[in-house]
């Protein structure tokens, strides 16, 4: 009976050892795959970092170029703003002149109408005097 128990324990230990060996082999494969993945990611990260550095350098160059061009164009915008203000003032002056002229033209029109009426009346009375 003790021998059977010993055989059962030995078989159970052998099954446990086989199970542990299979588990360790699978774990080692997983660790190897993880190491390969880490190596690939590290290489890809290095490539990406180099490309990012190149991109940042080009971006900085482009930004410097844009800043120089904007600094060159700034006086142009100032001149256009000044010109716009001058044109606006001229427009206001023209409107003021037109408004004043319109008022004077209306008065001149009334005076012309009175003079014309006076002439017509004068001609009418002169005709009456000549007929009489």
pLDDT in tens, 33-91: 999 999 999 999 989 999 999 999 999 999 999 999 988 888 888 888 888 888 788 87
pLDDT, residue 112, reads 66
State residue 95's pLDDT score: 76
pLDDT above 80 for 27: yes
pLDDT band at 32 (very low <50, low <70, confident <90, very high): very high
What is the rounded distance in angstroms from the CA atom of residue 110 to the CA atom of residue 103?
11
**Domain spans, the chain:** 1-103
Indicate the SS3 state at residue 11: helix
Is a pLDDT exceeding 80 seen at residue 4?
yes
Tokens of 52: 């990012």
**Average pLDDT taken over every residue of the chain:** 83
pTM (whole model) above 0.75: no
């Amino acid at each position: 009976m003790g021998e059977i128990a010993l055989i059962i324990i030995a078989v159970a230990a052998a099954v446990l050892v086989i199970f542990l060996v299979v588990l360790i082999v699978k774990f080692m494969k997983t660790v190897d795959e993880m190491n390969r993945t880490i190596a690939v990611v590290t290489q890809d990260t290095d490539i990406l970092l180099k490309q990012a550095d190149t991109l940042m350098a080009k971006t900085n160059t482009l930004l410097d170029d844009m800043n120089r061009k904007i600094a060159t164009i700034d006086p142009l915008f100032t001149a256009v703003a000044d010109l716009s203000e001058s044109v606006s003032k001229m427009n206001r002056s023209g409107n003021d002149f037109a408004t004043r002229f319109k008022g004077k033209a209306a008065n001149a029109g009334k005076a012309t109408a009175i003079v014309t009426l006076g002439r017509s009346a004068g001609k009418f009375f002169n005709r009456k005097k000549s007929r009489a």
